[in-house]
Structure 1
Amino acid sequence: MNQEIQKVIEYVEAGRTEEGLAQLKKIEKSAHDEEKFLIADLYYQWGMVEDALRIAEDLQLLYPEEADITLLLSEIYMELDEEEKVIQLLSTIPSSHPSYPRSLILLADLYQLQGLPEVSEQKLLEAKSLLPDEKIIDFALGELYFHLAQYKKAISAYELVLKEVEEITNINVHSRLAECLSLNGQFEEALEHYQKGIQSHADLHTFFGYGITAMQAEYYQTAITQLEKVKEMDPEYTSVYLPLARSYEHEGMLKESLDAVKSGIQYDEFNKELYYYGGKIALKMQSVQQAEQLMQEALALDPGYIEAAITLTDVYNEDERYEETVELLTDLINKFDEFDPKFDWNLAKAYNGIEQYSDALKHYERAYTFFKEDIDFLQEFAYFALEEGDRKRAKSLFEEAAKLDSTNVEIQDMILQLEDNFS
């Protein structure tokens, strides 16, 4: 390589970019064609696409059969979204040429970008048939399958790459394989590769994937360690807060879980899931007022948020605030066209609480269809029927409950009492 060009590279790598580029412009004026090719390639690598294009197009006119120039110009056109020009250029490289497999890889990238993954796969498999041991082709296949969510195929491809190299195009293959294994539900194997990946590629995305996978594998302390690293690296990476809170909860660290939620809300105040989850944790901590406030915030962001509505009306019913349950759930049904079978159960409780018994019965009967295998519901409905004087229905409901739990003494006693009354 020309010593002057080598000096320019050293300048740029040392951070003296402006000085290096100014020197490169001077060299370009008197450079011979081989040096111009090197200069165009450097421009392309450094993101100066227009300068690279200018030189590469001139060289291609002079040397139309020179495959290296054709490939470089094709890469530049791809950067500029000149897809037809890329296809036209690459079609000029004969299948007998040593650069033909590389042209197939470029075409595969292009067809993937165009939303033609089958054609992309076909090009890569053809390249692999020509160069079966070339790991860049295995890696390209892994990337294709990864983005198509074909994780088993991606795993096989990445494992082939790892037989020789651990990093390609600045991507750590251990980390990529770990991500595929995790997405394929192979959490234990994924953790092994995440551990190897972070040794050389400790970036935020890898720490996050490591933490999520550890949580899924129920290694919650490991999850906490990795997710806390993510939070330290970038507190505005808001995806970290919910899994971090969940991991703390699984470890019984409720205060830390709620603190994680509150930290997340500071950076993502419109995330209804954070408010809802925080409310659930606050309930576990017996902080009912705080839980209620968080659930109300979730519903303010999404008035049709079913899970939050159910939990909040559970709180209202527990506190005998039955009118608030009725108001909230009837609004969801009538104004927002939302419904969940638990609405009927909670409305039945609420109407019973405010002594609107016909409405309570209507909702108990509706809820029965969905909760006839729920022993708590059957008992509650049975006691309601008993209070309403419908002993026959009460007995039938207690008997259904007894089938679900034949050891429940209270249910058996109620059945005996009702049988005595009928005898």
Structure 2
Amino acid sequence: MNQALMDAIQLVEGGRTEEGLKNLERLEKNLHDEEKFYVADFYFQWGMVERAQQILEDLHLLYPEESDITLLLAEIYMELDEEERVIQLLNTIDSSNPAYPRCLVLLADLYQLQGLSEVSEQKLLEAKRIIPDEKVIDFALGELYFHLGKYKKAIAYYETVLQEMDEVSNINIHNRLAESLSANGQFEESIEHYQKGIEKQEDIHTRFGYGLTALQAEYYQTAITQLERVKEMDPEFTSVYLPLAKSYENEGMLLESFQTVQEGKKYDEFNKELLYYGGKIALKLQKNEEAEQFLREALALDPGFIEAAITVTNFYNAIGKYEDTVDTLTEIMTKYDEYDPKFDWNLANAYKEMEQYSDALNHYQRAYTFFKEDLDFLHDYAFFMLEEGDRKRAKELFEKLLQQDQTNVEVQDILMQLDDNFS
């Protein structure tokens, strides 16, 4: 390769783009065909697809049997979404050609883009049979299975690639393997690869994945470190706030958890899960006003948000706002056609305290079907029946309660009194 051509390329690569490209354009007409192919390859790498296309189409007319030209031109047509021309070109390379495995890999990429994953897999497996030790093919198979969500298969191929290289096509294999392991539930193994991947390539999504995996592995301090770093990199990366708040809570740092939710709300006020979580943390901090506000806002975003409805009405019953329990749950059931058995339990307790005993009984009876093995429910229902004077039903419920908790002295005493009364 002549020195002038090398100098022009170095100018572009060194950041003096305009000067280098002008020199290349001036040199092009006097280049040998091999040098023209070399320049076309650089144009393609630089994203100057049309200039690369012009050179390669001319070269392909002159050298239709040259597979390197055919393959690079096919890649360009793929970039331009000219799928029929890609297939037409690649079909000119037969199975006896040494370039045939590369041809199969390109076809696999094309079929994957078309959503024909099974055909793509067949092409890659055929290429691997021809060149079993080619790590680029292993990488392609890993990528295919990764994007299909077949993480166990992806893991095997990424581990094979790592035997020789830790990066392919600017993709960090440690990071890919970490994501696959995490998605497959292998959290501790995943963390090891996240650590190695981050050392070589830091990006916000990898940091976030690292933090999430650490949270799932119950390495809460590691999760906090990684997720805090994500927040520093981009405070508007709203997905970070909920797992960060959960990590703080698991470390017993409730105030930091609540502050994280408040901060996240500034950037994403329509995240019902974040608002719901903020309500629960506020309750733990005994910040009742803030708790109610967060839970009501979560319900306003999604009136069918069952967990938020249960939590807020548990809270209302605990502080004596029984009418709010009735109003909230009645609206959800009638207006939004949502239901959960815990609604009946909470309504029963609210109506009991409001001295609307007929309504309370109705909801206790409905809830019993779902909670007849629940000690807390049996306790509430049994005492309600006792207060209502239905000693026979109360005795049945207390006996059921004692069967499940034979050490309950209070229930034993009540049953003895009921037996005395019946006798």
TM-score, length-scaled by structure 2: 0.97
1:262-319 C-alpha deviation (Å, 9 max, x unpaired): 1211111211111110110000111111100111111121222111111111111112
Q: Secondary structure, in 3 states, of the residue corresponding to 2:29?
A: helix
What is the one-letter code of the residue matched to 1:8?
Answer: A
Task: Tell whether 2:249 aligns with 1:227.
Answer: no
- Residues 122-271 of structure 1: matches in 2 within 5 Å? 122-271=122-271
C-alpha separation between the residues in 2 aligned to 1:397 and 1:113?
63
User: What is the CA distance between 1:256 and its match in structure 2?
Assistant: 0.8
C-alpha separation between the residues in 2 aligned to 1:39 and 1:414?
93
- Residues 320-339 of structure 1: matches in 2 within 5 Å? 320-339=320-339
User: What is the CA distance between 1:261 and its match in structure 2?
Assistant: 1.0
Instruction: Indicate the residue corresponding to 2:70 in structure 1.
Output: 70
1:33-64 C-alpha deviation (Å, 9 max, x unpaired): 22222222222111122222222222222222
C-alpha separation between the residues in 1 aligned to 2:413 and 2:311?
32
Q: Secondary structure, in 3 states, of the residue corresponding to 1:283?
A: helix
Q: Secondary structure, in 3 states, of the residue corresponding to 2:37?
A: helix
Instruction: Indicate the residue corresponding to 1:51 in structure 2.
Output: 51
User: What is the CA distance between 1:420 and its match in structure 2?
Assistant: 1.6
Instruction: Indicate the residue corresponding to 2:33 in structure 1.
Output: 33
Instruction: Indicate the residue corresponding to 2:385 in structure 1.
Output: 385
Cα 1:22–1:415 shift into 2, 3 Å = farther
C-alpha separation between the residues in 2 aligned to 1:186 and 1:268?
31
User: What is the CA distance between 1:257 and its match in structure 2?
Assistant: 0.6
What is the one-letter code of the residue matched to 2:97?
Answer: H
Report the identity percentage.
71
Instruction: Indicate the residue corresponding to 1:17 in structure 2.
Output: 17
Cα 1:83–1:407 shift into 2, 3 Å = same
C-alpha separation between the residues in 2 aligned to 1:298 and 1:267?
15
C-alpha separation between the residues in 1 aligned to 2:412 and 2:278?
40
C-alpha separation between the residues in 1 aligned to 2:240 and 2:216?
14
C-alpha separation between the residues in 2 aligned to 1:3 and 1:368?
88
User: What is the CA distance between 1:159 and its match in structure 2?
Assistant: 0.9
C-alpha separation between the residues in 2 aligned to 1:346 and 1:357?
14
Instruction: Indicate the residue corresponding to 1:3 in structure 2.
Output: 3
C-alpha separation between the residues in 2 aligned to 1:11 and 1:402?
86
User: What is the CA distance between 1:25 and its match in structure 2?
Assistant: 2.2
Cα 1:58–1:296 shift into 2, 3 Å = same
What is the one-letter code of the residue matched to 1:73?
Answer: L
Task: Tell whether 2:349 aligns with 1:366.
Answer: no
C-alpha separation between the residues in 1 aligned to 2:208 and 2:29?
48
What is the one-letter code of the residue matched to 2:411?
Answer: I
What is the one-letter code of the residue matched to 2:356?
Answer: Q
User: What is the CA distance between 1:7 and its match in structure 2?
Assistant: 2.3
Contact (CA 8 Å) 2:402, 2:408: kept in 1 or not?
yes
C-alpha separation between the residues in 1 aligned to 2:174 and 2:18?
36
User: What is the CA distance between 1:180 and its match in structure 2?
Assistant: 0.9
1:7-34 C-alpha deviation (Å, 9 max, x unpaired): 2332233222222223222222333322
1:70-100 C-alpha deviation (Å, 9 max, x unpaired): 1111111111111121111111111111111
Instruction: Indicate the residue corresponding to 2:422 in structure 1.
Output: 422
User: What is the CA distance between 1:131 and its match in structure 2?
Assistant: 0.9
C-alpha separation between the residues in 2 aligned to 1:391 and 1:13?
90
1:212-266 C-alpha deviation (Å, 9 max, x unpaired): 1111111100111111111111111111111111010000000111111112111
C-alpha separation between the residues in 1 aligned to 2:15 and 2:349?
71
User: What is the CA distance between 1:128 and its match in structure 2?
Assistant: 0.8
C-alpha separation between the residues in 1 aligned to 2:3 and 2:306?
69
Cα 1:42–1:421 shift into 2, 3 Å = same
What is the one-letter code of the residue matched to 1:145?
Answer: Y
What is the one-letter code of the residue matched to 2:370?
Answer: F
Instruction: Indicate the residue corresponding to 2:80 in structure 1.
Output: 80
1:381-411 C-alpha deviation (Å, 9 max, x unpaired): 1111111111111111111111221112222
RMSD: 1.3
Instruction: Indicate the residue corresponding to 2:95 in structure 1.
Output: 95
Q: Secondary structure, in 3 states, of the residue corresponding to 2:280?
A: helix
Q: Secondary structure, in 3 states, of the residue corresponding to 1:30?
A: coil
Cα 1:61–1:390 shift into 2, 3 Å = same
User: What is the CA distance between 1:142 and its match in structure 2?
Assistant: 0.7
C-alpha separation between the residues in 2 aligned to 1:9 and 1:339?
68
C-alpha separation between the residues in 2 aligned to 1:143 and 1:127?
15
What is the one-letter code of the residue matched to 1:3?
Answer: Q
Instruction: Indicate the residue corresponding to 1:290 in structure 2.
Output: 290
Count residues with an aligned counterpart: 423
Instruction: Indicate the residue corresponding to 1:273 in structure 2.
Output: 273
Contact (CA 8 Å) 2:9, 2:24: kept in 1 or not?
no
C-alpha separation between the residues in 2 aligned to 1:291 and 1:6?
67
Cα 1:99–1:390 shift into 2, 3 Å = same
